[in-house]
Chains A and B, each alone.
Chain A
């Protein structure tokens, strides 16, 4: 099942470029390091290529082309991303699947959503259709964007809505990056709530990642001294691909590549009121230390489970005091409750790993039917140089803290009327803001009462 990626805005384009590059690096790993027989490796590579890339059957020498559509309102980033891809010599972007204009959205969500979006719509949809026609079997869309700026968030939200109209039955998975809390953009909280509320109404699921967490992973786990956006994007892609690279779902034991977006979404979002997903993965360490480390599945999964219940963004500094079954004074669950989880294991001896700890019904909201809340997938091939690695995609209370904080900040600003006129100028009225607040307050309330 192929995945078409939409890269929206500066952040989306940079992450997209990194994602395809990471895929290619993974594919070109030395066969000996993959720890699987050559035919399995071959199969894996073919699965990756057919999922994320398009190869023209007629010409042998042509580089694989990413199944991607790129949109940004200024030309600089797209040009740079395309050039980086070409430079790698292993893959490239398809021709004429890029849309850029001269003038950015200036951090103004309304400018992106109300002005640039409608102008770009026809062209973008046409590009998406062209890309879709190249797929034998379209599995769904992955759209990448940030929440802070104007283009990624504003144009992104609009384009995603159009995509839903155009492909009413396709799966749309959205990956968004939450900006640093002390912002680089003053109006980022407004932009974030407007984007999230719109996405919440249209897409199947939203994967949320936070720059603050990713930054910490870079500095504390990967030991990077001067952290650039490239480093952060690498971490994002590692997480995303842990889930999306080919793997076998235990429901369908015979198939090598059954973890399609559709299967994952169907499992992860049992009720459309709850569609915020977060990711936790283990291990993460500097490349130089990987070869000196060895892991046991038991240890990895124990950590991962604690990361889930204590809601830790990484394996360092987990609060081990939190236990399943602890109750708050008001009778709620103290630990981070989930609705559904998808556990993906990659690497050596995956079949020996014992995952029953994730099936424990105490982990889940009381009304979740027992036995059905965990989706399991495995892939014996080594992923991204880690001999063993585990990734957990979960639909849990985890993103609510951040969302609550952002909605609070935005509400504070909104009740003082700060910056609202900038949005009004492009046709976004106060009711639109209120609608967004209502949507998100509802989401927060839903998750809190899980």
Chain B
């Protein structure tokens, strides 16, 4: 079994991380009835003897040992103290290792250059040590999950700095980035700069990026909110009758975070945290068709830089009945391809698929998946050389409180629209060179960084557009090799 480390950077990254660990613990609590520290727990947690100051690792052995105390395989980084210190006061504090935590006091002032060039250089050694510490606790480290936002300074700047660091020091370990893109009406003026500068790094250094848009998450949360009877929306935001209590999508309260007040972003962060849980479920739990993390990049990334995957999840909320008539199962598949369920404001149905993965959890058979692929396929367009571009995974363990769920990861050209929007916003600022001096006066930051990042984004968009053009008129097939007889 392999292990993964989560590196959560900045306010947004840490808030998502916080939700992730909460939900991960619940998921394992629901599955692991024996209280033993087993292989599936070991992928994100280590078992420690907490009587010591520097808690000693208890090796897994045969997987029959009892859980003593769990420590998350997480590295927490923020350049201001607020969020992290709040987490350290909160109910999850026991889960984090205080020695895998880096904070500063003054923040990055929404400036990518401050995060990437200044703090990055300043904290390089410390970051490297802390990550090394987490890595040394792993038998077989397979993947880093980096969580950060794109709009701010810390997440985008320090986050991408860490990405570079990981590429340098752990070239064989996969780097999955969950990046939260700002909405068009973002209150941070410089967010287009930060995003474009960060994207350059993501395009170059990440193995796989799961872009998530704030606006799309907001829409989903509102949609769930509308399904709630108004009488119940008073105190607790999401605890409706037809949304199942304890279901993984909507739990922001109860259990571990009972004492804390519901935060406005919690439900949005939950959605992202669930994305991570569902993506890794097949690597953690048993199933008849396992999908290991390295298979995700292998099957979904046909060209090195085009590693941005559009994710969608369904059901977003579950109705109360557990026994599912087939129509509802099929509905789940249809939903996952609809516009409303994408974690990015995009419409994959009307663009070109390069590849698509269906990761199913729970009580679903391979024949159900095949039937739905046959049903959906006529309405989807796949690139001419990858007409059978489906990767399927079946995990036997469903999310907590649900009987089944579906996560789709699509490599689809629709993502270029988000990138084009971002570019437009960037150009608007950049043609007047607004705020640029705030960046260039940081040591190590040059105007050329802007230009290179802008170029990189352009190239990326061009590549997607060139592929999308092949949707309606694919080029003639290359003649096959001829054999002289």
Contact = CB atoms under 8 A, between A and B. Distances in A.
Contacts of A352: none
Contact of A181 (B140, B298, B388): B388
Nearest to A77: B290
A289 to B, nearest CB: 23
A416 B385 contact: yes
Interface stretch (A124-132, A135-143, A359-367, A437-445): A437-445
B389 A412 contact: no
B385 to A, nearest CB: 4
A413 B294 contact: no
Contacts of A438: 481, 483
A107 B295 contact: yes
Contact of A441 (B140, B384, B480): B480
Contact of B140 (A103, A111, A227): A103
Nearest to B354: A418
B338 to A, nearest CB: 23
B292 A104 contact: yes
Nearest to B480: A411
Nearest to A434: B481
Interface string A55-84: 000000000000000000011100000000
Contacts of B139: 102
Contacts of A182: 370, 373, 388, 390
Contacts of A184: 289, 390-392
B298 A107 contact: yes
A179 B161 CA distance: 42
B388 A186 contact: yes
B384 A102 contact: no
Contacts of B295: 104, 106-107, 185
Interface of A is mostly: loop
B1 interface: yes
Nearest to B389: A186
Contacts of A412: 384-385, 477-478
Contact of B355 (A104, A150, A186): A186
Interface residues of B, number: 43
B452 interface: no
B388 A441 contact: no
A449 interface: yes
A411 to B, nearest CB: 5
A187 B355 CA distance: 10
B348 to A, nearest CB: 16
Contacts of A444: 483
Nearest to B374: A182
Best-surrounded residue of A186, A228, A409, A412 (most CB of chain B within 10 A): A186
Given A182-B388, A413-B386, A445-B483, A421 B294 contact: no
A226 B367 contact: yes
Contacts of A108: 294, 298
Interface stretch (B23-31, B83-91, B301-309): B301-309
A444 B367 CA distance: 33
B481 A441 contact: yes
Interface string B344-379: 000000000011000000000101001001000000
10 contacts: A106-B293, A106-B295, A107-B295, A181-B388, A184-B289, A184-B390, A184-B391, A418-B383, A421-B303, A437-B481
Given A181-B388, A186-B389, A411-B478, 16 more contacts: A74-B292, A76-B290, A102-B2, A106-B295, A106-B297, A107-B295, A107-B299, A185-B391, A186-B300, A186-B390, A226-B367, A418-B303, A418-B354, A418-B385, A438-B481, A441-B482
List the 4 closest pairs (A to B, CB-CB), nearest first. Answer: A106-B294, A415-B478, A418-B302, A445-B483
Interface of B: 1-2, 139-140, 142, 286, 288-290, 292-295, 297-304, 354-355, 365, 367, 370, 373, 383-386, 388-392, 477-478, 480-483, 485
